[in-house]
Amino acid sequence: MRSLSRRQALCELGALFAVPFIRWPERLSDPLAGTIVEYQAGRARGDWSAEEVTKEALRRANWWNGTLHAVDELSQTAVNDAIASDVRARRGALRGPLDGVPVFAKAIYDMNGLPTTASNAEWARLFPEVVHRDAIEVARMRAAGAVVLGKTVADDFAYHGNGTSSRSGQVRNPYDPTGTKTPGGSSAGSAVSVACGIAFAALGTDDGGSNRIPAQFCGIVGMKPTFGLVPRTGVIPTWPYLDTHGPLARHVADAALLLDAIAGPDASDGLALVAPRKRGTLAHLRDDALVHARLGLVEAHVPRAQMSAESLSVFDRAVADLKSAGAVVESYAPPVTRANVRDLFAQAAKERADIKPDPNSPAATANALYRYFLAHGGDPRRDVERGLAAYRAFYDVLPKDWAEMSKLITEPYEEDPAGVSFARSRAAVTAQLVGSFRAAKLDAMIYPTMPFPAPRAVDPWPDIRTTLGYGNWLGLPEVSVPTGLGHDGMPAGNISFMGLPGSDALMLALANAYERTSKRFVAPPTPR
């Protein structure tokens, strides 16, 4: 590393994050234990290099994977990418705050030089070849200088929420000494790798909670951005009208940095937002953002009669933390809730004489799968047919018969009648919420991300309804933040900050202020 004076290093750190630094972030003994700011400060001080930290991250990934089962594939270029970042650092030419930062992506993401296994044994057998492109989000992370360590294990095809892969086995919850509790899913490996300090942040996907479930069960930050904020090209598809990609991280500020790097329009995803974005706008966070913030506590989303005394106590403590930080918290009864959102979508379609809205339309998913293979440059029809049985074992709305399936695959998902009807209902129902939200002069809604902690992986979940699908149907941004551990040392719950479409920066700011005030994150024990 270059030899810099303290003043020079502080100036360089400030320029890197586009904010002034007047004092050093805390010096850490473990560079992977803190925030990205602390990591980059250590690099500027000369405490460590990106090469050294990347090698340690890969050592942990390899050593701990026998216990955690969290890593799908490791990159062969990560160390060289870190060395390249160190060269840029010596020249004073880092690309931004993510330059040299170890990160992961989920197993359904394409990554140049690795196979895309989907964490599914049969898919990995059918498509063992390495791919020669990056998913757009991976490419954007690389463009920001991030060191992509590889890919993490998910539920097969990102379909379930338990962290169970037919290829890699059951991902383990790092807080659970018995090895029986679920880490949540489907972005299980991403959450576990982040919680354990293998990477600072990781990419996940969320159709009905796949980022927020493992965030809560692993005691970290998970985000579902505004629908369409992050284009999804180069990722094995799920449900195009629900699928939302975003970050998992130990800290909100790190999640914000990753989201800022991957967000923004791209014509390859026909459902992505088209408004241009200025880099850096999602990462400007203030520790006092909660002062005078107006937060609506949605009691309809707090099933108090079904929650355990500890779950309730932890959530109520989080609300008290918000008030102590200067927020105004008041009860809010929105016109759209978890209980009525689907009925309102159907009613909106009926009023405009439209067909039934369906976010799980087979035609949309069939076309998305075809377009995924089309970008690989081979024979997409052959590849879809070859992989259909394995894929359809999870996405069972698709036709079994190839003759029937082949009729669907070339119909653009942007024009799918059931999907378009769903999008129209989303706009109409969200407008109802927007009017009420603004009349109440709220900045965000708050409620438990989930009303129960991690069950055993082999057990069914408690029969308590969650709000997870609510956010996906409405396309709203949601940041889930840990609220502390329970008496058993397991993460006891997360609190969600949810806002109107496009308010991602505000949700991150509020969540960051809560995190900085409450200091409820506790790292798991070192895996054995």
Q: What tokens does 102 get? A: 């170890």
Per-residue CA distances from 23 to 6, 9, 37 (Å): 9, 10, 12
Question: How many Å apart are CA 183 and CA 173, to the nearest integer?
Answer: 4
| Neighbouring residues of 369: CB distance < 8 A, sequence distance ≥ 6 | 236, 237, 384, 387, 391, 409
How many CA atoms lie within 13 Å of 129's alpha carbon, on the beta-carbon side? 7
At 519, which amino acid appears? K
Residue 256 CA from chain centroid, whole number: 11
Which amino acid would we find at residue 276? Answer: P
323 is a catalytic site residue = no
Encoded tokens for 84: 């390249």
DSSP string, 79-105: HHHHHHHHHHHHTT---STTTT-EEEE
List alpha helices for 325-448, DSSP H: 341-351, 362-374, 380-392, 402-408, 417-439
Residue 213, token pair as written in the block: 């479930």
Q: Which residues contact 510 (CB under 8 A, 6 or more apart)?
A: 289, 290, 293, 295, 327, 443, 444, 479, 497
- Strands of 328-331's sheet, edge to edge? 71-74, 147-152, 102-106, 201-206, 244-249, 221-224, 478-482, 494-498, 444-448, 294-297, 328-331
Q: Compute CA distances 483 → 39, 313, 388, whole Å.
A: 24, 10, 41
Phi-psi region of 298 (alpha: psi -120 to 50; beta: other; left: phi over 0): beta
Q: Which of 85, 165, 187, 210 is catalytic?
A: 210
Element (H, E) at 495: strand 494-498
φ/ψ of residue 8, rounded to 5: -60, -45
Q: Which of 49, 75, 85, 106 is catalytic?
A: 106
- Residue 20 tokens read as 């002034």
The distance of Cα 509 from the centroid of its chain, to the nearest Å, equals: 17
Cβ within 8 Å of residue 114, ≥6 positions away: 73, 75, 130, 131, 150, 151
186 catalytic? Reply is yes
What backbone phi and psi angles, to 5 degrees, belong to 39? -65, -45
Q: Which amino acid is at 388?
A: L
Could you tell me whether strands 244-249 and 494-498 are parallel, antiparallel, or unpaired per DSSP bridges? Answer: unpaired
Q: Is 210 a catalytic residue?
A: yes
- Helix (H/G/I), strand (E/B), else coil: 313: helix
Question: Which one is catalytic: 186, 190, 480, 518?
Answer: 186
H helix or E strand, kind and range, residue 72: strand 71-74
Active-site residue set: 106, 186, 210
